[in-house]
Chains A and B, each alone.
Chain A
């Protein structure tokens, strides 16, 4: 318990400026991602911009609002490595979707 106490006292309060900065950045990034739709960007540009703003926002929230930036690596790694499993799942299901749409086009429209 000694360790817990020391950590809480040492690390848990940060300057208010950090939070306000992150807050502002989140507003700006959200505004940008709304602008992606507003200007109706299409195709690769649209998707890449959406992903960039999304990951920036997610990173800022996790790192600073959820304090992961200040946590020890033991916790950070336990939380972040399982995301690779999700990435694998996304890749698998993307491939599966390609196959499904292929068979649908084949049997619905071309007729086997």
Chain B
């Protein structure tokens, strides 16, 4: 076995054909939970793509003018409407939380329990802030008369795409926040150092779990990059 460690395997495409045609595992050096998370994220990519593609199709095929998102999502600072301000703040908050998550994964692997736990907690609070601002945005738009079937700004399809896409993304963020709080508690308690077994699994806890949670969280940020570009900026 010793001559078959990862460092001795070929890299690049040669490595890919080697891994794919080898025994036991195709994804060498990747813990199975991580592969499962990646496959889930791949399927999630397809779901979000379907939403965004249907949005593209709806917006491109309507003969009514599309609402000017720059104005619809503007926020008043004093008396001056600043275009897209809330969305910009939400973007920065989500990127900040993505950064703290990346550092949490790093400190987790270094077995720096305290730093890791505080960073996960910071990520969770960032996510919570994001969801809170999204709730504010939703209630503001609903108050202004935006519904899935109509809105005062332009094409009727706008409302349904807005609530569907941002709602589905917000659901992902909310689920992520719940898991981040659970993982922050587990990390503070030292589950990943002692290898304590979880509620739903007989497997021992391991810091890999934090990277897997991190993958999910970065994916949520990744989807927001596309929503921000296509829905808010386009």
- Whole-angstrom CA separation of A8 from B54 in the bound complex: 40
Measured between alpha carbons, how far is A47 from B84 in the docked complex, in Å? Answer: 17
Residues of B within 8 A of A20 (CB): 99
Majority secondary structure, B binding face: helix
Smallest distance from the beta carbon of B203 to chain A beta carbons, Å?
13
> How would residues 1 to 32 of chain A score, 1 for a CB under 8 Å from any chain B CB and 0 otherwise?
01110111011111010011011001100100
Residues of B with C-beta under 8 A to A90: 53, 56
Contact assessment for B226 and A94 in the assembled complex, using a CB-CB cutoff below 8 Å: no
Contacts A10-B7, A97-B60, A104-B63 given; does A4 touch B29 at CB 8 Å: yes
Q: Are B5 and A6 closer than 8 Å at their CB atoms?
A: yes
Does residue A44 face the partner (Cβ distance < 8 Å to B)? no
Which residue of chain A lies nearest to B50 when distances are taken between CB atoms in the complex?
A89
Which of B15, B46, B95, B208 meets A30, CB within 8 Å?
B95
* Complex interface bits, A25-59 against B, C-beta within 8 A gives 1, otherwise 0: 01100100110111010000011001101100110
Please tell me if the beta carbons of A58 and B225 are within 8 angstroms of each other in the complex.
yes
B56 & A23 in contact (Cβ 8 Å cutoff): no
Partner of B98, one of A26, A47, A72, A109: A26
Question: Cβ of B72 < 8 Å from any Cβ of A?
Answer: no
How distant is B74 from chain A, measured CB to nearest CB, in Å? 10
Which 10 A-B pairs rank lowest in CB-CB distance, beginning with the nearest?
A: A7-B29, A97-B60, A100-B61, A73-B16, A54-B229, A23-B99, A74-B19, A97-B61, A12-B109, A101-B61
Pairs A–B under 8 Å by Cβ, sample size 23: A3-B5, A3-B25, A7-B30, A8-B29, A10-B6, A13-B109, A13-B110, A33-B228, A34-B88, A36-B233, A37-B84, A38-B83, A40-B70, A50-B229, A54-B226, A54-B229, A61-B225, A72-B19, A73-B16, A82-B45, A82-B46, A104-B61, A108-B63
